[in-house]
Amino acid sequence: MSLRPPEPEIAAAPAGDVEWTLVDQLLAEQRTLTAVERFSQWHEQGQHGGGRGQGTGDGYSHLMPAAPPGPGEQYRFEVNLDACTGCKACVSACHSLNGLDDDEAWRDVGSVIGGRRGEAWQQTVTTACHHCADPACASGCPVAAYEKEADTGIVRHLDDQCIGCQYCILKCPYDVPKYSKRLGIVRKCDMCVGRLREGEAPACVQACPTGAIAIRIVRIDAIQPESGSRLVPGAFDSAYTRPATLYRTTRPIPADARPADAGALRVEHAHWPLIWMLTLTQLSVGLFTALAVLALAGKPVPSAAVFSATGVLMAGLAVSVLHLGRPLGAWRFFLGLRTSWMSREILAFNALAGCATLASGAAFFGQDRFMPAILGLTALTGLASVFTSVMIYVDTRRPYWNAPLTAVRFFGTVLTLGTGAAAAVLGPDKSWLGTSMGLLALLHGWMQARVRRAWEDDDSPWNASARVIRLRLRGIMDSGDALFLTALLCGFCALITGGMASAVWAALYFSALLAGQVLDRMLFFTAAMGPRMTGGCRS
Amino acid sequence: MKLKLPAKAEALQKLVRQHGGPLTSRLVREPGAFGLGQVPSRLKPDAVTTAVCGFCATGCGLKLHLRDGHAVNLSADPAYPVNLGMACPKGWEALTPLDAPDRGLTPLLEGKPVTWQTAAGAFATRMKRILEEHGPESVAVLSTGQIVTEEMAFLGAFAKFGMGLHHMDSNTRQCMATAAVAYKQSFGFDAPPFTYADFEESDVLVFMGSNPCIAHPIMWQRVMMNRRNPKIVVIDPRRTETAQAATHHCAIRPKSDLVLLYGLARLLIEKGAVKHDFVEAHTTGYEAFAEFIEGFDAARVSRETGLTEARLHEIADLIAGHERVSFWWTMGVNQGHESTRTAQAIINLALMTGNMGRPGTGANSITGQCNAMGSRLFANATSLLGGHDAGKPADRAKVAGILGIPEDRIPPQSAVTYDQIIERIADGRIKGLWVLATNPSHSWIDSEACNRALEKLDFLVVQDMYPTTDTAKRAHLYLPAAGWGEKDGTFINAERRIGVVKKVRRAPGQALSDFNILRLLAEAWDGGGMFRGWTSPEAVFGILKQLSAGQPFDFTGIEDYSMLCKEGGIQWPWSAAEAQGSAGQPEGAAVQAGSAAVTSPPRERRLFADGRFFHTDGRAKFLFEAPRPLPEPTDNAYPFCLLTGRGTSAQWHTNTRTGKSDVLRKLHPQHCLVEIHPMDAALLRIRNQDRVIITSRRATVEATAILTPCVQPGQCFMPMHYEEVNRLTLASFDPHSRQPSYKACAVRIGRKVE
């Protein structure tokens, strides 16, 4: 709720002999706020009993624990689904009583539908942060901006610690953390921890007209969901993060229950800085690897190629900073090394940048005898860095970001772009070029076959992503195909021509190849529909 | 994930791990005082006042958090007897639509900003010209259930007595006309008898065409507070959220409700459940009714409603076997082609089983808009101001006397209804139209035909908060109105409770309250002579009190707005005599004693405890009529029955206000949708979330398909909040209430090829 900026004074009394017209009088009246004076005898009384409601009234004591959690215990939301009927007051109240930004909401209400045969069934589901026993947001955060409070178990987000990398958004399978572009950070539900400390109910608990949301206490080690169990139908496997929330119902849930928005196609954020970062770093690693192979084979390595590989790497790393909402805190990345692939990626790429600088130095000073070792080290570090990149996405458990697909994608980029770039900078070199073309054909064919199979198989874990690609991202997919054919054509021309013409064709091949990989990375992000709690609103 | 560092490195830890800082402090909460509990520090109030909500007829009390008299936040009022500290998302977001960037800041004449002087002058000149050339029937007013009672009365009085025009109706025709006519004919006055405590006091609650979980969540809250382990029967073609929460759901065929009700009445007679004492003492027409329903045997009713005979017996047994049965209906009943008789069939069930005037009983209409009930008493549209009859000389004299106007300023004939106004615009008899706080371009049935008619007007004036509504965009003259929260006045909620709204925000630009716009227009019309005393809403409230004297809704016992605030709203009637009564307990049976003061009305009161109704003989009437077939049954070309209704609790009507809140927008689908049964969808090769084409005999529209077994095969459902929906609906009306039958027309559905 925002404060309206001060209004210009438009209804001042006209001066002198000008008549005070009815319009002036009415406008002046309209601008005078008198509720406080007129109803003062009443407003000063403060609260006079009645229903459940704000503050520490006892109307909701049955929805609150008698005492705070003891050692090894934590607070949890307990939702009585029999009482949740989808009014969504919890969402609005949380927004107003916590002073969130206009478009920010920490709660959501979705619905699950079932009973295609037999009696129709539907269930609305209020959901917020589940304050997991094993929070994926916290383990993914590179700067330890999440903290599972020792005394309450509440998963708190430290707003001033956050660097706005949004990895927690990708990590949370319930779509809980919300990014604020305005602030450059993520924010999320803190279970109204300050209210709990004072014995007040959280905003959503206060505001539920049917008392469907309660705060209870649970032993953290008792939260041991079996693999494959879900909070509600359509939600993510609870074994992943061990969510603390308990959904209760006395009504049997039909076997065919599924989220109301099942099959909804969402085009996710493209994350342009990440698209470029991944493409450029993988190009650089590929080129370094190609150069290392050359050097280890005892062949001369042109300095320009080393400089190019280093330059491309630095550009990729520089552009990645644009992804951060508050990059100045990123130096704290080491705090997450124990659990976060994002931290490990930052470390790996820092090491790679060091190696690349060393390689460039060696090239600059003509230290050719160290070249095989330095380039070999650089290539290994680079391949390890790409592995951390793969793991960042695999670790989110998004179906489209499964390990084989992501690894083939990223290392496929390393191989095709690396060999393609090597072909271009080495002369052009037709054997490198042919290798690149062959790899490209393999990679493209494999990816296309995978998408087709996922599209045709309704049970494929990433069927929805395949549908997004074929139905919503058709233009990108078709452009990718066109670039693939263009690349092969240019490559073929480079193979059959010679001299300058061949160099130009090789450069064109490389450009088409690079553009194709950028588009593929765009699909990688936009088609990666993430899991979330059951929706139902968005159409 | 705790970083383990030695204690001496605390300073380092602080540097490495920032638990506080400028971003953290943005969300700090602190005790808000005024009984609020913790509030966001940046929105901490320096005073608090209350107002009733301006969306629906539940009439929740809201606590407005003020800073320098300006509302910065709000919360639900725990002390208000209606909502007991709860609100639906619209209530929580009530202030947000006031900040919308598209608020009207100046009057617009032919789309150009003008001063109020010019606007008022143009209004008077052009309306007068039409009236002079074409007579008093050539200009009409479409009013609303969304403005305060004082403004409604002012509008009605100015339009009819000041401007001298004859025809005026309100968007309450779209929601409440049926209930009003049904009550008036059955009880002798438009008097919803219940109080919300009845939700808590029933043994059996029967909801017909009503989805309170979504449309009236706070009423559902009261149902959930029922400690009598009630049976809840929901009669609705769809398995709504309420049907899901009920103990019994009867998924009847669309618009087979009248047959069902007559069948239940016959079964109740069979089962000997009729309370003959009550019927003989307090009603007329029972014998004829009993004879009439002979033909509605269980076999026929089962055939026509789609319910099994066993189910019919089960429901009849529930009604017969419980002491306190209450019947509740909403738009599923009111918006039908035979809606008045359907509402009266519900009333008949309550009368014949003696479920009237006792706690937890009644035939109870749940109203739609925040001030539909005010409109029903004071709109001065089809009845004369204050529930009077323009045909009765005594009533004319009383109203003229209180208002201090010559009796001949009161037009003797009653106004034509909304549908007839649109019809007369289409055929050119009405040339000038003044629309206030409603959006017929979107909301009127068969809206394309309505919009074709509006195009023909010589002069369309739209008075609204936003110049961007579908209707305002067509206006020749747009008048910028202040909204709820920017003006004072009273609303009357569905349980007859009069509550106060207050000015806690400054209206943007030159927007004026409807009350002040009316003062200005009256001044421009003829110097405002007739309305000299109408200086403030509270002054007009005094006039309304006088008009109420001796009427069934007599509220002369209410002193002023302050008293209304202090008492948590007051239900009518509360006459001066009752207020001064020795026991302080009026007839109407107190549910729960209020505070001890003699002049305090009880917090919850219902009507007809003494069995005396408002017909001159003091009896209620059994009214009935043979059911008629649907005006547009499905056929091979249009095989689906299209149902319409409220989509989510985060949407209100044509979404002109709720669409302005980011939070509410998150809580409702952004695009038009249609719910289809998965079996139908499979035949049409439609998948969940596919785009589909829906065609009726009026129009073709697009929507997103939602596959759900909660609609029956052969039916589909579309929420009315999307402009597309009423392009499809068929303009058909109940003959008694002239309320549009929004709920059933024939359409076909096809997949949109992508």
Residue ranges of chain A whose pLDDT lies below 50: 1-18, 41-53, 55-56, 538-539
- Sequence-distant (6+) residues with CB within 8 A of A93 are A203, A204, A206, A207, B75, B76, B87, B92
Q: What is the DSSP secondary structure assignment for residue B553, as one 8-state letter?
A: T
pLDDT in tens, B129-138: 999 999 999 9
Instruction: Please give, one letter per residue, the 3-state secondary structure of B244-257.
Output: HHCCEEECCCCCCH
Q: Do A35 and B49 touch (CB under 8 A)?
A: yes
For Cα atoms A152, A157, A163, give the angle at the middle one, nearest 5 degrees: 160
pLDDT in tens, B183-234: 999 999 999 999 999 999 999 999 999 999 999 999 999 999 999 999 999 9
**Is B527's Cβ below 8 Å from some Cβ in A?**
no
Q: In the numeric block, which tokens belong to residue A332?
A: 């704290």
Q: Which of B492, B67, B66 has the alpha carbon at shortest distance from B75?
A: B66
Between CA B640 and CA A11 the distance in angstroms is 57
Q: Which of A264, A275, A288 has the alpha carbon at shortest distance from A425?
A: A288
Side chain identity at residue A77, one-letter code: F
Reading phi first (left if > 0) and then psi (alpha if -120 to 50, else beta), residue B721 is in alpha
Q: Where are the domains positioned within chain A?
A: 60-259, 272-526
Answer whether B255's CB lies under 8 Å from B630's CB.
yes
Q: How far apart are the first and last CA of chain B?
A: 48
Which of B36, B117, B663 is facing A54, going by the closest CB pair? B36
**Is A409's Cβ below 8 Å from some Cβ in B?**
no
Between CA A212 and CA B39 the distance in angstroms is 22
Distances (CA, A) of B552 to B189, B335, B607, B622, B749: 7, 26, 10, 20, 49
Angle of helix B298-305 relative to helix B257-270, nearest 10 degrees, comes to 160
pLDDT at B385 (0 to 100): 95
**Is A183's Cβ below 8 Å from some Cβ in B?**
yes
**Interstrand relation of B47-52 and B432-436 (parallel, antiparallel or unpaired):** unpaired
Angle of helix B514-526 relative to helix A22-30, nearest 10 degrees, comes to 180
pLDDT at B613 (0 to 100): 98
pLDDT at A498 (0 to 100): 87
Mapped onto helix, strand or coil, the DSSP state of residue B709 is coil
Mapped onto helix, strand or coil, the DSSP state of residue B424 is helix
Q: Do B99 and A86 touch (CB under 8 A)?
A: no
Q: Which of B218, B249, B666, B672 to mutate to test the interface with A (most CBs of A within 10 A)?
A: B666
pLDDT at B608 (0 to 100): 97
Q: In the numeric block, which tokens belong to residue B474?
A: 């067509």
Which residues from chain A sit within 8 angstroms of residue B70, using beta carbons? 3-4, 33
Which residues from chain A sit within 8 angstroms of residue B63, using beta carbons? 54
Q: Which of A77, A104, A81, A106 has the alpha carbon at shortest distance from A205?
A: A77
pLDDT at B7 (0 to 100): 59
Q: Do B669 and A41 touch (CB under 8 A)?
A: no
Q: Which residues of B733-746 are buried (b: 16+ CB within 10 A; e: fewer)?
A: bbebbbbbbbbbbb
CA nearest to A184 within chain B: B23
Between CA B222 and CA A276 the distance in angstroms is 56
Mapped onto helix, strand or coil, the DSSP state of residue B434 is strand
Q: Which CATH number fits domain A60-259: 3.40.50.300, 3.30.70.20, 1.10.150.20, 3.30.1360.230?
A: 3.30.70.20
* Sequential DSSP letters for B294-344: GG--HHHHHHHH---HHHHHHHHHHHHT-S-EEEEE-HHHHSSTTHHHHHH
Phi, psi at residue A307, to the nearest 5°?
Answer: -60, -40
In this prediction the ipTM stands at: 0.94
Between CA A392 and CA A346 the distance in angstroms is 11
pLDDT at B596 (0 to 100): 42
Question: Would you state the torsion angle of the CA atoms of residues A417, A423, A426, A429, taken in this order, to the nearest 10 degrees?
Answer: 170
Q: What is the DSSP secondary structure assignment for residue B5, as one 8-state letter?
A: -
Q: Do A35 and B503 touch (CB under 8 A)?
A: yes
Mapped onto helix, strand or coil, the DSSP state of residue A15 is coil
Q: How far apart are the first and last CA of chain A?
A: 26
Which of B23, B663, B664 is facing A159, going by the closest CB pair? B23
Q: Do B566 and A10 touch (CB under 8 A)?
A: no
Q: Do A26 and B709 touch (CB under 8 A)?
A: no
Sign (positive or negative) of CA dihedral A226, A231, A237, A242: negative
Q: Which of B252, B135, B190, B569 has the alpha carbon at shortest distance from B376?
A: B190
pLDDT at A40 (0 to 100): 57
Angle of helix A474-496 relative to helix A430-456, nearest 10 degrees, comes to 160
Which residues from chain A sit within 8 angstroms of residue B73, using beta carbons? 1, 96, 99
Q: Which of B90, B126, B112 has the alpha carbon at shortest distance from B216?
A: B90
Strands (E), B469-574: 477-480, 486-492, 497-503, 570-571
Between CA B496 and CA B586 the distance in angstroms is 15
Which residues from chain A sit within 8 angstroms of residue B561, using beta carbons? 38-39
pLDDT at A130 (0 to 100): 98
Q: Which of residues 184-213 of B touch A (CB under 8 A)?
A: 213
CA nearest to A22 within chain B: B520
**Interstrand relation of B459-464 and B432-436 (parallel, antiparallel or unpaired):** parallel
Which of B38, B72, B678 is facing A200, going by the closest CB pair? B38
Q: Do B37 and A47 touch (CB under 8 A)?
A: no
Q: Which of B349, B411, B363, B347 has the alpha carbon at shortest distance from B385?
A: B411
Which residues from chain A sit within 8 angstroms of residue B41, using beta carbons? 99
Q: Which of residues 249-268 of A touch B (CB under 8 A)?
A: 260-265
pLDDT in tens, B549-597: 999 999 999 999 999 999 999 999 999 999 987 444 444 444 444 444 4
Q: Do B23 and A206 touch (CB under 8 A)?
A: no
pLDDT at A17 (0 to 100): 42
pLDDT at B4 (0 to 100): 54
Q: Do A99 and B40 touch (CB under 8 A)?
A: yes
pLDDT in tens, B445-464: 999 999 999 999 999 999 99
pLDDT in tens, A196-219: 999 999 999 999 999 999 999 999
Q: Which of residues 267-296 of A touch B (CB under 8 A)?
A: none
pLDDT at A469 (0 to 100): 96
Which residues from chain B sit within 8 angstroms of residue A158, using beta carbons? 17-19, 24
C-alpha distance from B109 to closest chain A C-alpha (Å): 17
pLDDT at A58 (0 to 100): 57
Q: Which of A342, A327, A321, A330 has the alpha carbon at shortest distance from A169?
A: A342
- Sorted by where each starts, the structural domains of chain B and their CATH numbers stand as 7-99 (2.20.25.90), 108-170+371-592 (3.40.50.740), 193-365 (3.40.228.10), 640-751 (2.40.40.20)
Q: How confident is the model at residue B2 (pLDDT cuts 50, 70, 90)?
A: very low
Which residues from chain A sit within 8 angstroms of residue B648, using beta carbons? 86, 88, 537
Between CA A408 and CA B450 the distance in angstroms is 60
Q: Do A33 and B679 touch (CB under 8 A)?
A: no
* Sequential DSSP letters for A275-335: HHHHHHHHHHHHHHHHHHHHHHTT----HHHHHHHHHHHHHHHHHHHTT-SSGGGGGGGGG
Mean residue pLDDT of chain B comes to 94
Q: Which CATH number fits domain A272-526: 3.30.360.10, 1.10.3210.10, 1.10.238.10, 1.20.1630.10?
A: 1.20.1630.10
Answer whether A423's CB lies under 8 Å from A433's CB.
yes
Answer whether A165's CB lies under 8 Å from A323's CB.
yes
Between CA B707 and CA A120 the distance in angstroms is 12
Q: Which of residues 329-388 of A touch B (CB under 8 A)?
A: 332, 335, 339
For B369-383, what is the mean pLDDT?
A: 93
pLDDT in tens, B213-227: 999 999 999 999 999
Q: Quote the distance between the C-alpha of residue B419 and its chain's center.
A: 18
Phi, psi at residue A224, to the nearest 5°?
Answer: -130, 70
Side chain identity at residue A305, one-letter code: A
**Is B710's Cβ below 8 Å from some Cβ in A?**
yes
CA nearest to A122 within chain B: B244
Which residues from chain B sit within 8 angstroms of residue A54, using beta carbons? 32, 35-37, 63, 75-76, 78, 85
Q: Does residue A428 have a cis peptide bond before it, meaning omega lies within 30 degrees of 0?
A: yes
Q: Which of B675, B566, B638 has the alpha carbon at shortest distance from B240?
A: B675
Q: Which of A10, A32, A97 to mutate to test the interface with B (most CBs of B within 10 A)?
A: A97
CA nearest to A265 within chain B: B689
Q: Do B704 and A539 touch (CB under 8 A)?
A: yes
Q: Does residue B586 have a cis peptide bond before it, meaning omega lies within 30 degrees of 0?
A: no
Which residues from chain B sit within 8 angstroms of residue A537, using beta carbons? 648, 666-669
pLDDT at A261 (0 to 100): 87
pLDDT in tens, B716-733: 999 999 999 999 999 999
**Is B339's Cβ below 8 Å from some Cβ in A?**
no
Which residues from chain A sit within 8 angstroms of residue B118, using beta carbons? none
Mapped onto helix, strand or coil, the DSSP state of residue B149 is helix
pLDDT in tens, B290-347: 999 999 999 999 999 999 999 999 999 999 999 999 999 999 999 999 999 999 999 9
Reading phi first (left if > 0) and then psi (alpha if -120 to 50, else beta), residue B509 is in left
**Is B448's Cβ below 8 Å from some Cβ in A?**
no
C-alpha distance from A23 to closest chain B C-alpha (Å): 7
Between CA B334 and CA B736 the distance in angstroms is 11
For B95-118, what is the mean pLDDT?
A: 97
* Sequential DSSP letters for B366-418: PP-BTTHHHHHHH--SSSBTTTB-TT-HHHHHHHHHHHT--GGGS-SSPPPPH
Q: Which residues of B146-177 are buried (b: 16+ CB within 10 A; e: fewer)?
A: bbbbbbbbbbbbbbbbbbebbbbbbbbbbbbb
Q: Which of residues 22-61 of B touch A (CB under 8 A)?
A: 22-24, 26-29, 31-43, 47-50
Helix-, strand-, coil-residue percentages of chain A, each rounded to 5: 50, 10, 40
Q: Do B520 and A211 touch (CB under 8 A)?
A: no
pLDDT at A116 (0 to 100): 85
For B469-491, what is the mean pLDDT?
A: 97
**Interstrand relation of A185-187 and A155-157 (parallel, antiparallel or unpaired):** unpaired
Q: How many CA atoms lie within 13 A of B237 on its CB side?
A: 26
Tokens 């066109």 correspond to A482
pLDDT at A536 (0 to 100): 59
Q: Do A114 and B709 touch (CB under 8 A)?
A: yes
Q: What is the CA radius of gyration of chain B?
A: 26
Q: Which of residues 227-266 of B touch A (CB under 8 A)?
A: 239, 241-242, 244-245
CA nearest to B32 within chain A: A55
Mapped onto helix, strand or coil, the DSSP state of residue B61 is strand
Residue pairs spanning A and B at CB distance below 8 A: 353
pLDDT in tens, A225-240: 999 999 999 999 999 9
C-alpha distance from A426 to closest chain B C-alpha (Å): 47
**Is A14's Cβ below 8 Å from some Cβ in B?**
no
Between CA B409 and CA B130 the distance in angstroms is 19
Phi, psi at residue B595, to the nearest 5°?
Answer: -75, 170
Strands (E), B612-731: 620-621, 640-645, 673-676, 691-695, 700-707, 715-719
> Is residue B247 predicted with pLDDT exceeding 50?
yes
**Is A475's Cβ below 8 Å from some Cβ in B?**
no
Which residues from chain A sit within 8 angstroms of residue B214, using beta carbons? 85-87
Q: Which of B220, B242, B231 has the alpha carbon at shortest distance from B84?
A: B220
pLDDT at A297 (0 to 100): 93
pLDDT at B6 (0 to 100): 57
